[in-house]
Structures are given as C-alpha cells and as structure tokens.
C-alpha cells in the first residue's frame, strides 16, 4: 500500500526563541480521520530518522480495522507511504543507515522482525526473535546494525541484543545475547539504543529494586556489554516514599565527540507527576554525570510525558515532550547550551486547541530539525504531523 503525501514550504516562519531555524509549513504524514488511532510508540522514541536527503517516519494505526505498521519516506515535503509487517504489528522503530537507507524493527505475533527500507519500498523481513517486543536499532559503519529488544524469561522480561549483518537488501540474524549477564531479578523494559563515537550505549527501565529506575550499559562492539549502572538519582528522603519515586521511558542521543545524553521521565517530585530529566556522558556512555532537570520552572507544577531526544555531530542536542502547562497538551522543546538547557519553547504548529502529543525528533548532520507528533482534534480525529526546520547559516 502506497500513497503520496505533500506539503508546501513556507519561507520565514520564525520566532525569537527559534532564531536558529527557518521553518517549513507542517505537513500531514497520516491525514486526520475520525475513529482512527495513530501511535508513535517506538521504544526509546526512535520513530524518526534522517539519512542523506531522505527522512523516514514509522508508526502504527488501525485504519484497516486492526493494528498495522507504516513508514513514510522521502525528501520533504514529499513523502511516500508503505505498509509493512503482518496483522497485529506493533511498536515499529527505525534507524538511519548510510546512502539514504534505513532499517525498521517491529513486533508481531510471529516475533521480532527487522527489514531494510529505502524510497522504493520495504525489503524482505528477517525474524530475529521468535518472541519479544520493544525493539530498537542503532547503526555504526564499523559494527554494522545492532538490535535490542525485550523477551520473556520466566516471570520477567530480559533485554537482549544482536549484531546484524546486511547483505544487499536483507539483514542476517546472528546469536542473541543478554545485555546484563547477572541473574534476572525483575523486568528490563523500554530500551533506548544509540551509536556513539567509539561504541554503543543502551539504557532501559529496570525494576530490580522494586520500583522503576534507569539503567545503562555500553559496548565497543555491540556483542559484549559492560555491567549495568543506574543513572537516575534521588535523595534518601525521596527514596523512602514507598519503594522509590520512579523513573521511566529513557531516550538516548549521541552528540558531538563521545557525548551521550540520556533523557527520561522522573517522579522524584511526586506531587507534580513526572518531570523530564537528563544526564550527560563525556566518554561515550561509560559514565554519566549528575541529573539535570530539562523542563523550565513553568512546567514544574504539571506532569510531562513522552520525552524524546536527538543529537548531531556538531554538538547539538534537543529534547522534546508534551505537557499541558497552557491548559492543553502541546509539544515543548529545549536544547543544550554551555549554560544548561534553555527556556522551553513550543513551535506554533504544535501548540493549538487540539491535543498535541507523542513527539519524535531527529537532527540531520547539518543541524536541521525534524519533528513529528500526533494531533487529536476536538472531533475525536487523529493525525500525524511533521515539521521541518532548516538550520540558518
């Protein structure tokens, strides 16, 4: 199934807070329909990627009466849509490869699958696990394509990884190995994976302490992983509330040279719900520094959701999420400066009376911004929107 989606570039849409980018008019990747529910639920919020001049976005929706997966790919503002996977396709994720190609990962009844995709369509799929879900991908030219996913092991979910070989238009599966070699104590879920300067970094939501925490590990080759470390912090007084305050849904972004940003939702301020926190690594994920609150004080009194992150080789890193500080769910962004994260801004197309949620974000090598999200209208319609911001000289 294919379709043509187009938009019109608008020169000069810019606000003082967005002086670094010149924005295009947003386009509808998946048009609004009543009774259709769109989901941007990729693990680590990796549903959007850029390779050369091509952009690719993947999602699932129920337009056919059941959950199916789709990918839109092309050069903005014109994107072409393809359907992939079988009936009951869930949580598709994507990673950019070289030369305008991408890799997709998703789960269905028959297990976890990976396939390549370019502007001509989705290539033959390879099943990499008979059971499992929440798959995520990362690519490094030296190691190739790395996949990670969760898989049932007794009562709990364990995180596995696999290094995949690319042969022409198809990937070849190898041996899956657990990230954490220690005996499983509770669930390891919602992985985020990124390729750094010298290796790979992974983070996930871990429940071994009886409440949700964020753990991370790193690898030089995508095969052997270092013992995991907890990267979210909290005071002793806070951790005495129940079993702990809770942290969930990590995202990772590599930026600059050997720098990794880990981002997650954190409930240490339990009266206001989840906040967006980050921790930075200056050695490719071997260690992470102190936790930093990413949203500004205007967002402190309400909960944040669906935190996503993206970085580039220039050293830029941007974080996106949604919250209803202005009385309605809108998309908010911040980016890192030498002085910390800047005051949050909401781009006008993602700030309206409609509900704007579930952002995914990517940065091109030249610093251009790519943003997609779900808009749910007051008439119960749903659509996926995309916004492109070109970096000013």
Mean pLDDT of 307-333: 95
Q: Quote the DSSP letter at residue 98.
A: S
Predicted pLDDT of residue 278: 98
Q: Are 150 and 132 a contacting pair, CB within 8 Å?
A: yes
**pLDDT tens digit string along 244-291?**
679 999 999 999 999 999 999 999 887 789 999 999 999 999 999 999
| Portion of the chain with pLDDT greater than 90, in percent | 80
Predicted pLDDT of residue 43: 98
Architecture of the 2-391 domain: 6 Propeller (2.120)
What is the chain's mean pLDDT, rounded? 90
**pLDDT tens digit string along 188-215?**
999 999 999 999 999 999 999 999 999 9
Question: pTM value?
Answer: 0.92
Would you list the domain boundaries of the chain? 2-391
Q: Which residue has the higher pLDDT, 236 or 96?
A: 96
Predicted pLDDT of residue 385: 97
Specify the residue for token string 């999602």.
59
Mean pLDDT of 42-63: 97
**pLDDT tens digit string along 163-195?**
999 999 999 999 999 999 999 999 999 999 999
Three-state DSSP class for residue 239: helix
Predicted pLDDT of residue 241: 55
Residue 242 has pLDDT above 90, yes or no: no
Q: How many CB atoms lie within 10 A of CB 158?
A: 18
- Per-residue CA distances from 11 to 21, 24, 28, 390, 392 (Å): 11, 7, 18, 10, 12
């Amino acid at each position: 199934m294919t379709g043509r989606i187009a938009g019109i570039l608008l020169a000069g849409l810019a606000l003082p807070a967005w002086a670094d980018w010149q924005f295009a008019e947003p386009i509808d990747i998946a048009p609004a329909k009543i009774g259709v529910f769109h989901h941007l639920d990729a693990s680590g919020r990796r549903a959007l990627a850029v390779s050369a001049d091509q952009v690719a976005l993947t999602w699932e929706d129920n337009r056919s009466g059941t959950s199916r997966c789709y990918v839109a790919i092309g050069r903005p503002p014109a994107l072409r849509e393809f359907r992939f996977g079988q009936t009951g396709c869930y949580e598709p994720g994507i990673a950019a490869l070289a030369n305008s190609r991408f890799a997709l990962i998703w789960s269905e009844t028959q297990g976890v699958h990976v396939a390549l995709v370019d502007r001509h369509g989705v290539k033959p799929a390879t099943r990499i696990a008979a059971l499992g879900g929440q798959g995520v991908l990362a690519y490094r030219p030296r190691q190739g394509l790395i996949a990670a996913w969760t898989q049932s092991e007794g009562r709990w979910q364990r995180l596995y990884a696999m290094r995949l070989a690319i042969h022409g238009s198809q990937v070849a599966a190898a041996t899956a190995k657990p990230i954490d070699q220690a005996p499983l104590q509770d669930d390891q879920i919602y992985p985020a994976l990124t390729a750094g300067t010298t290796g790979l970094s992974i983070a996930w939501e871990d429940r071994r302490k009886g409440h949700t925490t964020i753990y991370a590990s790193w690898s030089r080759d995508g095969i052997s992983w270092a013992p995991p470390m907890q990267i979210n912090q909290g005071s002793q007084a806070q951790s005495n509330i129940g079993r702990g305050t809770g942290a969930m849904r990590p995202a990772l972004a590599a930026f600059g040279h050997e720098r990794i940003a880990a981002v997650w939702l954190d409930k240490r301020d339990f009266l206001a719900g989840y906040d967006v926190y980050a921790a930075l690594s200056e050695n490719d994920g071997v260690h992470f520094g102190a936790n930093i609150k990413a949203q500004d004080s205007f967002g402190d009194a309400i909960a944040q959701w669906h935190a996503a992150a993206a970085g580039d080789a220039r050293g830029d890193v941007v974080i996106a999420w949604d919250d209803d500080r202005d009385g309605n769910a809108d998309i908010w962004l911040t980016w890192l400066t030498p002085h910390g994260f800047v005051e949050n801004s909401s781009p006008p197309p993602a700030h309206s009376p409609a509900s704007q949620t579930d952002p995914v974000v990517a940065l091109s090598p030249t610093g251009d911004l790519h943003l997609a999200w779900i808009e749910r209208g007051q008439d119960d319609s749903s659509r996926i929107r995309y916004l492109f911001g070109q970096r000013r000289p």
